[in-house]
Each structure stands twice: as C-alpha cells, then as structure tokens.
Amino acid sequence: MDMMRDILESDPEIAALMEKELGRIRDGVELIPSENFVSKAVLQAMGSVFTNKYSEGYPRKRYYGGQEFVDSMEELAIERAKKLFGCEHVNVQPYSGSPANMAVFFSLLEVGDSYMGLDLNAGGHLTHGSPVNFSGKLFRINPYTVDRKTHLLDMEEIRKQALAIKPRMILTGLTAYPRKIDFKAFQEICDEVEAYHFSDISHISGLCATGVHESPVKYADVVTTTTHKTLRGPRGAIIMCKKADRYQKKYHPESKKDLAGLIDFNVFPGIQGGPHDHVNAAKAVAFQEALKPDFKIYAKQIVKNAKAMADELMSRGIKLVTDGTDNHLMVIDLSAKNLTGKGKEIQAALDQANIHANKNTIPFEPGSPFNPSGIRLGTPAVTTRNMKENDMKEIARGIATVIDNYNDSKKIEKVKADILELCSNFPLYPGMDMLK
C-alpha cells in the first residue's frame, strides 16, 4: 500500500518488522480464538487523520471545537452499532475490553460490593474477578464454575449460589468456554435475586450479531464487547445498555442519571480522556461490514469450521473439554494424554509448525496458569482467510501429529511443510508488501 512507503523511508527498522509480521501471518494458521484479520478498509480508517483530533465529550457536546466531522463519524458508529445489536443505547468510545468492563463495574457497583463471574480456570476473563485485576482487588468476586464431571455450566447450581450470596451483579461471558451460554436462564436468576446482569460477549459478539449464538442484548442491563475478535473490527470495545436503571431505587437512590447516563459518565470523564477517533472510525467501518449479508455467512462458517476441526481432533484420539464445541473455540485437554502441565511445550511445538494457538487452563486445572494442561483453538481468523471444513481437518491432523510428537523436530518440520503449502492457497492482504 502506498501509505506504507513513507515508513519504509523514515523508519526502516519498524518497516522491516511490519513486513516480517505480514510474512508470519501469511505463512501460518492463526488459531488464537481472540484474533482475526480486519479488512483493508478497517486498517485504512485506523491510519487516517482522525488520529490527530481531540474530542473529549460526546457528539454535539464536546470540550473542543472543530468537531463537525468527528461528531458525524461517531454518530454513524453509534447508529450502526445500534442496528447491528438492536440495543437501546451504546457508547463506542472504550479504548479496549478491559477499560469498558471497568466502566461497567464503576456504574453498577460500589467498591467492595459482591458479584458473581465465571471462574477463570473454567473460561472467565481476567476482568471477571482475577485477584491481580481491578475486578478482584476492588470488588468481592464469588466465582461460579462448571460441573466437575461434564464441565458444563449447571444453571441450577448457579441459581443456588446466587440465592445464598445475593450478589449485586452477575457477570456472564467467556474466553474459553466452548458451549452456548443460556442468557435467558441467567436473566431469570438475576431477576430472582435482584442483581444486575452484565454480559461480556467479547469473544462471541460476531456470532451474537448474526444470530449464530443467542444475544444477551434483550435481557442484560449492560453488554460489553471488544470490537476486534469475532466482530472483526479494530482493537477497541463498545458498551451497550438499557436506558433505564432497573434498580435505581435500590442501588442508586441518590443518582439523577439513568443507566445510559451512568455508563457514559463512567467512560468519560470517569476512566478515559479523549476518544481514539481513528479507531472509532474503524469501528464504524467494521459495523457496516458486519451488517452485510456476507458477514452472517462468515459467522456461520466459523462455527462449521470449529465443528469440523473438533470432530477431526477427537477422531484422532484427542480429548476436548466438554467433548466438542458449539461456538468458535475449543480447548484440548492434554491431561487425558498424560501431558498434564505441558501446555507451554505443546504451544511452542505448534508454533514451530506454524500453527498458532495458545496454552490455556482447563476446568479444575491440575497444572498451573503458567504450565497449564490445555490448548485453546479457534476458527475466526482462518475462516476470514476463506478456509473451509476440509482445511480444518488437515490442520487438525497436523495438530494431532505435533501433540503426539512434540519432541520430534523432524515430524514437526513435516507438518510445517504441509501448513506452508495450505497457506499458499489462501492469500492474505495481497499487495500490502512494501518491498515488492
């Protein structure tokens, strides 16, 4: 791209690293389920002059002048997000998923309040109550977890726990849970114990927007999502919410703000300063792309591809957590192959074969977070690359070979050759090379 040529001249060191990264993603299969490949249009929006502007505040209510085009851009992003998810209110300014979640905690809870969120080993996120994160330091987390045998969410157990704890908020959402979430059942529990329902659909929002996974938007008080995972937009996040604060009398008796006002106030000035207008422009571009019929086909294919990969892995004797997947991801349980705590080594061996995945904990992890017993795989990025079920099977066979021979560099090299061959059939960012 022409835009890149200047970097080549002014900063050859960074340009060379960009070129190498382009080669790395072209020559490998990207199976990290939180990653994706955005369109060139999204990349160009991020590289636009909107990066120069300061626009603290919200459209038509800013602290600086010169906002006529920024305002229209942010209004378009808002309008498109509302249409895509069917939400009442949306804030498109969060810099990323973690600050978005922080704004929700500060809107719904007081410091020290108790809430429930999915246990991290079972597939929750750092911001769902990790002791090293604000969510675990400032608020009292009561994690719910999956069933010890099936590794599925047991809604009756979760209900009992909620009745005992009476949390002020229940957080739903996942980073490594391979099955569908019953958002309606969670809402019924929230109603019963008068807790806010906060749903973080960062991983699955592309599936929710297209109806491939049920969306929590019609139930939950607040829904956050990153924009860069299955949604296939720039790094960033949005917060969607109901306008009305369902527990205003109970929890915010003094407040003059509705829920939408609380959320906006906690994003700016509560946590953030000026919005990243270039990224928000790219969010608008990505929402427009996600509103097109093609995106629904894409979302369906993500799930078909995940099923094909899961089935092939299991037929090769690999155990998956919950024995399969309903969504875009799956978790290999290495402990079933006597490889407990070997996630790190297997991840490194897969990387040597140009298969990029990440080590992950499994439910009731017998190893440790640094040496866990799982490998998490997902299909959003390879599906963007137009790979289909047969390609998934080929990749799965490569993964199985690497796991069974993770100390055998000759066998790993052979898999790498097959992966390179496969990748050469699926061009990625053609024409973006600077040096050619």
Ligand X SMILES: *Cc1c(COP(=O)(O)O)cnc(C)c1O
Residues that bind ligand X (CB under 6 A): 34, 96-98, 101, 125, 127, 173, 175, 200, 202-203, 226, 237
Catalytic residue among 26, 168, 179, 229: 229
Identified catalytic residue from 27, 35, 54, 344: 54
* Cβ closest to ligand X, residue 43 vs residue 176: 176
Residue closer to ligand X (CB basis): 125 or 283: 125
Pick 151 or 203: Cβ nearer ligand X: 203
Q: How far is the CB of 45 from ligand X (least distance, A)?
A: 18
CB of 391 to ligand X, least distance (A): 25
Q: In the annotation, is 56 catalytic?
A: yes
By beta-carbon proximity to ligand X, the closer residue of 229 and 393 is 229
**Paired strand residues for 267:** none
200 is catalytic: yes
Q: Which is nearer to ligand X, 174 or 355 (CB)?
A: 174
Nearest to ligand X by Cβ — which residue?
A: 97
Rounded CA-CA distance 396/239 in Å is 36
Specify whether 406 is catalytic.
no
- The 3-state secondary structure of the chain, one letter per residue: CHHHHHHHHHCHHHHHHHHHHHHHHHCCEECCCCCCCCCHHHHHHHCCHHHHCCCCEECCEECCCCCHHHHHHHHHHHHHHHHHHCCCEEECCCCCHHHHHHHHHHHHCCCCCEEEEECHHHCCCHHHCCCCCHHHHCCEEEEECECCCCCCECHHHHHHHHHHHCCCEEEEECCCCCCCCCHHHHHHHHHHHCCEEEEECCCCHHHHHCCCCCCCCCCCCEEEEECCCCCCCCCCEEEEECCCCCCHHHHCCCCCCCHHHHHHHHHHHHHCCCCCHHHHHHHHHHHHHHCCHHHHHHHHHHHHHHHHHHHHHHHCCCCEHHHCCCCCEEEEEHHHHCCCCCHHHHHHHHHHCCEECEEECCCCCCCCCCCCCEEEEECHHHHHCCCCHHHHHHHHHHHHHHHHCCCCHHHHHHHHHHHHHHHHCCCCCCCCCCCC
Which of 27, 56, 154, 351 is catalytic? The answer is 56
Structure token pair of residue 231: 């949604």
Catalytic residue among 127, 172, 226, 401: 226
Identify which of residues 354 and 360 has a Cβ nearer to ligand X in the complex.
360
Rounded to a whole number of angstroms, the minimum distance from the CB of residue 360 to ligand X is 12
Who's near 263: CB < 8 A, 6+ residues apart?
Answer: 89, 91, 103, 104, 107, 222, 239, 241
Tell me if the bond preceding 269 is cis, omega within 30° of 0.
Answer: yes
Closer residue to ligand X (CB): 30 or 200: 200
Minimum CB distance to ligand X, residue 237 (Å): 6
Least Å from the CB of residue 24 to ligand X: 21
> Which residue lies nearer to ligand X by CB, 39 or 96?
96
Is residue 229 among the annotated active site residues? yes
Query: Catalytic residue among 83, 180, 218, 235, which?
Result: 235
**Shortest CB 97 distance to ligand X, Å:** 2
Residue 69 CB, nearest distance to ligand X (Å)?
A: 26
Question: Could you tell me which of 318, 284, 309, 333 has the C-alpha nearest to residue 381?
Answer: 309
- CB of 135: closest distance to ligand X in angstroms? 10
Give the residue numbers marked as catalytic. Answer: 54, 56, 200, 226, 229, 235
